[in-house]
Structure 1
Amino acid sequence: MNDQRYMPGFGNEFSTEALPGALPVRGNSPQKAPYGLYAEQLSGTAFTAPRHANRRSWLYRIRPAAVQEPYEPSDIAPRWLSHFDEVPTPPNPLRWDPLPLPGPSAEVDFIDGMTTFGGNAGCGIHLYAANQSMTTRYFHNADGELLIVPQQGRLHIATEFGVIDVEPQEIAVIPRGVRFHVDLPDGAARGYVCENYGAHLRLPDLGVIGSNGLAHPRDFLTPVAAYEDQEGHFEMVAKFQGRLWRAPIGHSPLDVVAWQGSGAPYKYDLRKFNAIGSITWDHPDPSIFLVLHAPSSTPGVDTLDFVAFAPRVLAMQDTFRPPWFHRNIAGEFMGLVHGAYDAKAEGFLPGGASLHNTMIGHGPDAGTFEKASAHDTSKPDYIKDTMAIMFETPVAIETTRFALESPQRQRNYHQCWMGIQKHFDSSQR
């Protein structure tokens, strides 16, 4: 496979070839493709989707994807789920310590190490903890696209479209149906995965923000063509209709020599996010930290928002600067990739997670409230050395049995608010 290289841009039409002349000169499906390749189209949207929303790519490969043995049910432990109604989800704020990394005697790859914490009709939310590369195993997800957020350890993701290397504070998105393989160059790895069942993730329109700000299309990177021409005994694992399946395959499925189109994997460095905020008063809504979203058929309402709380400066005067106490319609699942989160004094650890569901009261803990209430707001706060992320949905996120019964669940999480004091005095304004 060729060295990792990228093409910049988001949602563009790309053309790339690993061998000169591998792309047909005229037409997408010539009678005979160059180098004896097979033409195959991968469509991620309806054929009739509007041009700006259509996602499809032509792949020129050594063998078509149909060349493999039939799938059989997989014996992988069922910790990657697509149903979230095993147990009732309590109307309580929830928080978890990081998943433990597998011990040295265990061999757990990216697929085996996936554990579902919750989800709904729009998305599934998973955490992974692995210590083994996928070696002879390949994977594709027919149920949704995968938004991968490493927290510890780099991922070397070899896809049909080329190679993506992603490290903590970067993200990778693998479209629905794309086959890939994950190696762990640093050994043990841990992170977050959001499985998007809805419309493709895309950049939000900037509206009154103007032409700059938030995430910029030029910073999204798509791999150039690279291919594996290998024969042997391999395993193809598929997630289809909420279940995992496996099939023997006698060659590497990453045999695409050239491709052209608008649907491809990509990566983005969250440290390049250009945060927008208030410079007068009031703490803005978290929507100003929106990186990607999956729109619904209702204008202004998404099935999934991906938000990053990156380093920034808080300059609002006479304002309670951390996130205020709030209840809202959204289900908010947060993770911490790096550093500390400014709305919690302790207990929210890198690799950990929290869930604040529909209309459940939450906000800064007692220590953060007291500190922020006495802070000198004539001077700016420089929020450094941090990266928190959030998967937000317009409906409640149901939790799995594992999440509720996990030893990592902080069953005393509510205590972080119990120290909040009563300051009310009707005689003192």
Structure 2
Amino acid sequence: MAIAKNEQKSGERELNYMAGFGNEFQSEALVGALPVGQNNPQVCPYNLYAEQLSGTSFTMPRRQNMRSWLYRIRPSVTSARFVPSARINPERFGTHSEQDEVECNQLRWRPMPLPEHTTDFVSGLQTICGAGSPERKEGYAIHMYSANTSMQDSSFSDADGDMLIVPEQGVLRITTEFGILEVPPGEVCVVQCGIRFSVALPDGVARGYILEVFGSHFTLPDLGPVGANGLAAARDFQTPEAWYEDREVDFVVMHKLGGRVFESVQPFSPFNVAAWHGNYAPCKYDLAKFCPVNTVSFDHADPSIFTVLTCPSPWPGGVTADFVVFPPRWTVAEHSFRPPYFHRNVMSEFMGLIRGTYEAKQDGFLPGGASLHVCMTPHGPDTATFESGTTKDSHKPERLPADTLAFMFEVNYIPRVKKSALESNYLDKSYQECWAGLKSHFANSEGAGSNGKLTH
């Protein structure tokens, strides 16, 4: 049971968090609201309704079983019929990958502008790509969001999978059934499958990225030879303490299922949970607390050493997706090309930039923008980065700028790209030109350059 808490100011309310990843938590917004000794008494304290939220099948092994019990003023079942939502443009947001395009070229998008018209978090969602099937509970989708107004008397939940939200601009104040999370740029949060939430914008505007995974859940990667410590520490993840509102209002509940969004209206707020306990709850993480490991002798290590969270695949040893961060750090590899190397990968790589510049792309890759390199499509540093990396003194340590923060969604299934993303005005049609200046430096065994140095 985690008892450590972190407190921060948010408007007029002080938000409290419990520390730990995947812990068995318990939290009460009303003292005595949790039943003692059982989950579902005949009459719950304060005459609350008991409701279990299961994130895994009932028969999963204990170490993998995820569920929470919520004690609420009125049960979730009390609502009108669900109908297809008219608030969502299915051509812009949705996971129907069979209708989308396979694109093997390198792709890059410039930052989407903030919307001119009133747009909240849900209506500002745009799907970029995805693969697999939410119906079969395998695969993923990648989205971006851009919003300029808070959600009002409405919530969203994703029955297809977990959502990993990465803000790039603007704080997100996320009210969930479990409590409230405040997530600024530089932090990330996970809202698991089925949890209802609403997003307010304290800064008035917001923009960022989302990785949605179907079927399995995000977890911390195993450390193996790294040992017991390093990368993202479980103690640094924060889960909200219980908070509730008892408010009668026509509340719109949006629900994503099978790649489509439905909505219903209920006569009260869904954020009416006075207490809860379990190990299935939303959480957030400050990327500044990530402890990177790196080479201290030679060669650039694979990006897997920067994995924050991973989502296992249905087959042993595989992954559906990894969330990887590239934080400020020292690089000290001697006689080595230090930027990321040229490569082709069986995984597909979607990259975003939260702030600053990325070490392999000094120009053109901007905060709020994105790139996509699919399975076995070659990519790597641009011409200027390559020329710089092969001529600088590799015996001097370098500090990557403290104001830079990039990340990657590394995914297994080959993505199909949304038609709206391929036709976007912000697709950088000149992206391939960043490699156009790469020329041959080849020298035969008798010429200069045969000792590993380039001839310029």
Residue 51 (structure 1) aligned to one of 59, 62, 77? 62
Return the alpha-carbon distance in structure 2 between the equivalents of residues 341 and 198 of structure 1: 32
1:398 paired residue number: 416
Give, as a single letter, the amino acid of the residue that structure 1 aligns with 2:415: I
Give, as a single letter, the amino acid of the residue that structure 1 aligns with 2:442: F
2:230 paired residue number: 213
Give, as a single letter, the amino acid of the residue that structure 2 aligns with 1:405: E
Return the alpha-carbon distance in structure 2 between the equivalents of residues 128 and 391 of structure 1: 16
Return the alpha-carbon distance in structure 2 between the equivalents of residues 136 and 64 of structure 1: 17
CA contact (8 A) 2:161 2:216 kept: no
2:38 paired residue number: 27
Residue 231 of structure 1 aligns to a residue whose secondary structure is: coil
Give, as a single letter, the amino acid of the residue that structure 1 aligns with 2:439: Q
Quote how far apart the aligned CAs of 1:375 are: 1.1
1:11 paired residue number: 22
1:269-418 correspondence to structure 2 within 5 Å = 269-384=286-401, 385-418=403-436
1:115 paired residue number: 126
Return the alpha-carbon distance in structure 1 between the equivalents of residues 412 and 155 of structure 2: 33
Quote how far apart the aligned CAs of 1:396 are: 1.6
Give, as a single letter, the amino acid of the residue that structure 2 aligns with 1:366: T
Give, as a single letter, the amino acid of the residue that structure 1 aligns with 2:310: H
CA contact (8 A) 1:85 1:400 kept: no
Quote how far apart the aligned CAs of 1:38 are: 0.4
Return the alpha-carbon distance in structure 2 between the equivalents of residues 152 and 425 of structure 1: 47
Return the alpha-carbon distance in structure 1 between the equivalents of residues 156 and 386 of structure 2: 46
The sequence identity of aligned pairs, in percent, is: 51
1:199 paired residue number: 216
Give, as a single letter, the amino acid of the residue that structure 1 aligns with 2:423: E
2:188 paired residue number: 171
Return the alpha-carbon distance in structure 2 between the equivalents of residues 413 and 157 of structure 1: 35
CA contact (8 A) 1:149 1:191 kept: yes
Return the alpha-carbon distance in structure 1 between the equivalents of residues 260 and 313 of structure 2: 25
Residue 392 of structure 1 aligns to a residue whose secondary structure is: strand
Give, as a single letter, the amino acid of the residue that structure 1 aligns with 2:50: A
Quote how far apart the aligned CAs of 1:80 are: 1.5
Quote how far apart the aligned CAs of 1:393 are: 1.1
Give, as a single letter, the amino acid of the residue that structure 2 aligns with 1:16: S
Quote how far apart the aligned CAs of 1:87 are: 4.2
CA contact (8 A) 1:157 1:183 kept: yes
Quote how far apart the aligned CAs of 1:90 are: 2.1
Deviates more, 1:316-325 or 1:68-77: 68-77
- Tell me how large the CA RMSD over aligned residues is: 1.1
Unaligned 5+ segments in structure 1 are none
Return the alpha-carbon distance in structure 2 between the equivalents of residues 88 and 129 of structure 1: 23
1:50-89 correspondence to structure 2 within 5 Å = 50-76=61-87, 77-78=89-90, 79-89=92-102
2:6 paired residue number: none
Give, as a single letter, the amino acid of the residue that structure 2 aligns with 1:327: R
CA contact (8 A) 1:144 1:196 kept: yes
Return the alpha-carbon distance in structure 2 between the equivalents of residues 149 and 91 of structure 1: 26
Work out whether 1:262 is the aligned partner of 2:279.
Answer: yes
2:9 paired residue number: none
Unaligned 5+ segments in structure 2 are 1-11, 133-138, 451-456
Residue 127 of structure 2 aligns to a residue whose secondary structure is: strand
CA contact (8 A) 2:53 2:68 kept: yes
Moved over 6 A (4+): none
Quote how far apart the aligned CAs of 1:422 are: 1.0
Return the alpha-carbon distance in structure 2 between the equivalents of residues 129 and 322 of structure 1: 31
Return the alpha-carbon distance in structure 2 between the equivalents of residues 383 and 301 of structure 1: 31
Return the alpha-carbon distance in structure 1 between the equivalents of residues 182 and 120 of structure 2: 17
Residue 85 of structure 1 aligns to a residue whose secondary structure is: helix
